[in-house]
Amino acid sequence: MQPAEISGISGFVGQSVLLSGWVYNIRSSGKIIFVQMRDGTGVIQCVIERSSVGDEIFEAASSLTQESSLEITGSVKEDKRAPGGYELDVTDLKVIHVADGYPITPKSHGMSFLMDNRHLWLRSSRQNAILKIRAGVIRYIREFYDNRGFICCDTPIFTPNACEGTTTLFGTDYFGDRAYLTQSGQLYNEATAAAFRKVYCFGPTFRAEKSKTRRHLTEFWMVEPEVAFARLEDIMKLAEDFVVEVVGRTLENYRGLLEDVLERDVSMLERVKPPFPRISYTDAAAKLKEKGVDFEFGGDFGGNDETVLSEEFDRPFFVHRFPAAIKAFYMEPDPDDNKLSLSVDLLAPEGYGEIIGGGERASDLEYLEKKIEEEELPRKAFEWYLDLRRYGAFPHSGFGLGLERLLAYICGIKHVRETIPFPRLINRLSP
């Protein structure tokens, strides 16, 4: 018997196949049992008639419960009325395991309950769709950089120092020394950029922010490109090309999941075309004031501030040249106003907020030494980083994109917790 997967079932019309999977839903009309079966690649309706399979198999099918595992043999036929457009006329069935009462039923459940049962909730059609799209987005991200000559250089998870402030670090003992879970691979990217010119890292990062907003996770994935001899304008163009390509490829390949399963208004994604609007921090702060938002120049944007700004735009937009005081020590000062920095954020519309943060890095040794002293950072931990300015200093720029925030925007999801298989939040470490 020909084993098959539901995702490729269209290639077996008129043939007999063997499917293995789990019961997604089941109903009976007396002499016929309708089993919606999922195998991880899709869902298909299987029709079991007593007259076709006999009493023994029919009774075995009658014992099935939601999420019971089984193998089904049958003939594939096209039926536009059936879920997915295909149906299986069952000729044989083998029950592998009859599941206990499955806790996640078709009725409505609260978010806390679903998160407590995240290990099971992943089996639902919505979560399945989101994580399939996540896998696709990861592939498109890597291909974007690989196809442009970037070298992927993995950066450490354990680091001896902070990258973006000491208040959001997860610390741990490291054989008697103090180590931290990485906030970013950027500092190490600067070293590899000096070796390979165009590099990126892509992996988990950790922020111990005591935030309960819908945009925050304590563990998330970030892709960070770094480019030698690139200026602020260069890196903004790279970010624009990057987001346009990733969103475009996702829409091209996952439109069905976005529209049919996630009910995403894809017209919003179709607008993700260059050029992206650009606005300075100074103008953004003034615009917030005009709109009656209680915002003081010099502060960082909160979620509500970003949402208000995004109302002006129908696609992602850049905010550039933030005050140097609210950006990391390594950011290059604006030569036209040293109170500002050559920094940039890319904000998504529809209230999704920042998805990219980056800018041009300071390349002057004396300036960085002064900043490290001013911010009372441990000089010894940064000596290797200062070496990059001692031995062939060069202008360079880069940014970081949070995968889960991008996915929330693409999928039209309110909270980032659904965009990662097992989210870690300020109040959640399990399952």
- H, E, C per residue of 8-55: HHHHHECCEEEEEEEEEEEEECCCEEEEEEECCCCEEEEEEEHHHHCH
HSE-CB of 178 using CA atoms within 13 angstroms: 8
Q: What residue ranges do the domains of the chain occupy?
A: 2-97, 118-419
Biggest alpha carbon distance in the chain? 86
pLDDT of the residue at 55: 93
Superfamily, domain 118-419? Bira Bifunctional Protein; Domain 2 (3.30.930.10)
Secondary structure class of 138 (helix, strand, coil) = helix
CATH class of the domain comprising 2-97 = mainly beta
At residue 335, the pLDDT reads 96
pLDDT score recorded for residue 108: 84
pLDDT of 348 reads: 97
Positions in the chain whose pLDDT score sits under 70 = 162-167
Between CA 364 and CA 343 the distance in angstroms is: 16
pLDDT number for residue 211:
83
Q: Which tokens sit at 373?
A: 């002293």
Specify the 3-state DSSP secondary structure of 199: strand
Q: Is the pTM of this model over 0.75?
A: yes
pLDDT of 20 reads: 98
Length of the chain: 431
Cis peptide before 275 (omega within 30 of 0): yes
What φ, ψ does residue 277 adopt, rounded to 5°?
Answer: -60, 150
Task: Say if 2-97 and 118-419 have the same CATH topology.
Answer: no
Query: Under a CB-based contact definition with an 8 Å cutoff, are residues 299 and 271 in contact?
Result: no
Question: And the tokens for 298?
Answer: 């010099």
Chain position carrying tokens 């800018």: 359
